[in-house]
Amino acid sequence: MEKLPKIGIPVIIGIVLLLILVTKSAVTIGPGEGGVIFQRFGGGIDTSVTYGEGFHVVAPWNHMIVKKVRQQSISDNMNVLSVNGLDITVSGTIWFEPEFSNLGHLIQTKGEDYVNELLSPSINAAAKSVVGRYTPEQLYSSKRDIIELEILEEVRTELKGQYVNVKRVLVENVKLPSTIKDAIERKLKQEQESLEYEFRLVTAAKEAQKVRIEAQGKADANKILSASLNDKILQDKGIEATLKLAESPNSKVIVIGSGDSGLPIILGNQ
């Protein structure tokens, strides 16, 4: 009986050590994540394998580094200069994702905080390069889509071979000095009013042209009609009307001789 406690203590210690070993060795990688192993007593980051989602067991003396590998985004405010040297603040968002198979190379060369070490500097450099080609007015109005595409191309060029894929760049806001912004808005308003005035002039001119065409058409029709109404046609029309009037049961007429035009003279009961 006295030996049981002595035997039980090593067993308990062994169970505790086993639990610690299992706890240290078990790693769960969540959805949209990937992992690489850091070998403490080996060559550091193992770049040959990227572990996917699920449960994994690693040696307790190694460490599994887990990072997001799905598409993600970062936003930033960048102070840049326009082509004429004005200080402008550009707010933008970039969508990116690390290359899954090269996650080990990315962490090994750029560190675990590769977003701040690699992405942010590349985005700022691209934004300064692109925005510096345009005037404040172009940045504020019509060139936004073109600027986004140019920044995207600049960032992709900057990050080529850096194990990160950039999907899209969105320029959300361009903040100009208030005096410049007010001047641009006044100019855009004047241009809009000018376009509206020109539209009204064009519309009025088209309406006047329509009226002239209709009037000319009526004049031509009357001219053709007048040319076709000779004495013979008028006489025939008059005879036709006289016959219809004579056939009417409600009419009381007296036909006597004919007038100068050759038509009968009709006297009614009035």
Burial of 204 (0-12, 13-18, 19+ CB in 10 A): exposed
Overall domain count for the chain: 3
- Tell me, yes or no, whether 58 lies in a domain: yes
Query: Do 135 and 83 share a structural domain?
Result: yes
- Tell me, yes or no, whether 207 lies in a domain: no
Better pLDDT: 200 or 171: 171
Question: How much is the average pLDDT of 155-179?
Answer: 85
Query: Do 36 and 19 share a structural domain?
Result: yes
Q: What is the DSSP code string of 138-162?
A: HHHTTTHHHHHHHHHHHHHHHTTTT
CA angle in degrees (0–180, nearest 5) for 201-215-199: 10
Least confident of 12-16, 148-152, 167-171, 208-212: 12-16
Which of 68, 92, 123 delimits the end of a domain? 68
| φ, ψ dihedrals at 23, nearest 5° | -60, -40
- Tell me, yes or no, whether 192 lies in a domain: no
In this prediction, residue 1 carries a pLDDT of: 46
Least confident of 18-22, 44-48, 104-108, 166-170: 18-22
- Tell me, yes or no, whether 88 lies in a domain: yes
User: The domain containing residue 37 runs over which residues?
Assistant: 3-68
Question: How much is the average pLDDT of 5-9?
Answer: 61
CA–CA separation, 91 and 240 (whole Å): 88
Least confident of 4-13, 80-89, 97-106: 4-13
Query: Which residues, 6+ apart, have CB-to-CB distance to 174 below 8 Å?
Result: 88, 89, 90, 91, 139, 140, 144
In this prediction, residue 205 carries a pLDDT of: 80
pLDDT band (50, 70, 90) for residue 130 = confident
In this prediction, residue 201 carries a pLDDT of: 75
pLDDT more than 90, % of the chain: 24
Query: Do 122 and 40 share a structural domain?
Result: no
Query: Domain containing 148 — which CATH number?
Result: 3.30.479.30
Query: Do 164 and 80 share a structural domain?
Result: yes
Say what the pTM is.
Answer: 0.58
Q: Which residue has the tokens 């070490």?
A: 117
In this prediction, residue 128 carries a pLDDT of: 84
